[in-house]
Amino acid sequence: MTAQASQATKAATIFIDGEAGTTGLEIRERLAGVHGISVMSIDPDRRKDKSARAEMMRNVDLTVLCLPDDAAREAVALANDLGADAPKIIDASTAHRVAPGWVYGFAEMGPAQADAIRNATRVANPGCYPTGGIALIRPLVETGIIPADYPLTVNAVSGYSGGGRSMIESYVAGTAPPFELYGLGMEHKHVPELQKYSGLTRRPIFVPSVANYYKGMLVSVPLHLDTLPGKPSLRDIEHVLDERYRSSELVRVIPDPSAHTGRLDAESLNDTDKLELYVFGKPELNQAVLVARLDNLGKGAAGAAVQNIKLMLGLG
């Protein structure tokens, strides 16, 4: 019997460090329906006890970090001190997304990415915004439709669940505005991974926003087609995206979006792990808007984490 088959015959154990947060709770709920996985919980009174957390890590197959960046770095240091007893780790924070030695956990990013995740011991779960942006941009950069140094702008809107505890509390309390731009200091924490894994050499302008609904996300990339090499058509772009994701169960290119009314609802994929890609535009104007739609807590967070958990444990 192979090691993978042997592992699949018994329940793999998982510790979610930070399971009381939004992403942690979502991951735990999703794992409840996954055969072959047992989630271990720490005593709530000891959730900040380093020795207790280290002992939990020592006794599980995989640990998921749903922590602020500094706490995630501390947790990785605790795991490293365990040596051969250290578990596999998925970090849902921003701390290790562009760090050496970590595999980026967007399984559909390229043909070999799922296997890289399967063979990894350290995986950085992607950010929700970059998941949509990378899915749209990377195939076009790799095929030369978009030059790596092209000046791109990426716009996005998310439900408030993606903004952390303080943002969620402000919206629940009714003290937050119905819509706002943020990250206008040009230093949003998702930009480094968005640039690196899209294959861009020029830093993109990223304009995120949040609206008064719980979850659901749209990421859009506007393009002047006549400024791109070869002046690609809308169908050229759609074809490249379709070729990349045709075999994916979760990522789908929606053909001929002209059938839409010119509007796109951000919440239609909520409670799924799907990612939809659209190529809108008008040929006679040589303009296009590429759009990715996803649940920021699904494919943008917990759904991606569960997908990576299954890959790393040989269950998917």
User: Residue 6 pLDDT > 60, yes or no?
Assistant: no
Alpha carbon separation from 192 to 13, 23, 61, 96, 129 (Å, rounded): 32, 21, 30, 11, 12
pLDDT at 7 over 70: no
pLDDT, averaged across the chain: 93
Model pLDDT for residues 31-43, shown as the tens digit of each residue:
997 899 999 999 8
Task: Please give the pLDDT value at position 257.
Answer: 67
Domain boundaries, the chain: 3-127+301-312, 128-296
Strand partners, 6: none
Of 128, 134, 140, 269, which one is the catalytic site residue? 128
Least confident of 42-46, 144-148, 151-155, 221-225: 42-46
Question: pTM here?
Answer: 0.93
3-127+301-312 matches 128-296 in fold: no
Q: Are 223 and 246 in contact (CB under 8 A)?
A: no
CA-nearest of 47, 57, 97, 104 to 77 is: 57
- CATH number attached to the domain at 3-127+301-312: 3.40.50.720
Cα-based distances in Å from 60 to 41, 212, 291, 301, 303: 11, 39, 39, 22, 21
Q: What is the DSSP string of the chain?
A: --HHHHHHTSPEEEEEETTTSHHHHHHHHHHTT-TTEEEE---GGGTT-HHHHHHHHHTSSEEEE-S-HHHHHHHHHHHHTTGGGPPEEEE-SSTTTT-TT-EE--TTSSTTHHHHHHT-SEEEPPPHHHHHHHHHHHHHHHTTSS-TT---EEEEEEEGGGGHHHHHHHHHTT-S-SEEE--TTS--TTHHHHHHHHT-SSPPEEEEEEESSSS-EEEEEEEEGGGSTT---HHHHHHHHHHHHTT-SSEEE-S-GGGS-S---TTTTTTS--EEEEEEEEGGGTEEEEEEEE-TTIIIIIHHHHHHHHHHTT--
66 included as an active-site residue? no
Place of tokens 């045709």: 246
CATH superfamily, domain at 128-296? Dihydrodipicolinate Reductase; domain 2 (3.30.360.10)
Q: What is the pLDDT of residues 81-102, one digit of tens each?
A: 999 999 999 999 999 999 999 9
* 132-136, 137-141, 215-219, 255-259: the lowest-pLDDT one: 255-259
How far is 312 from 116, CA to CA, in rounded Å?
9
Ranking 120-124, 160-164, 206-210, 264-268 by mean pLDDT, the lowest is: 160-164
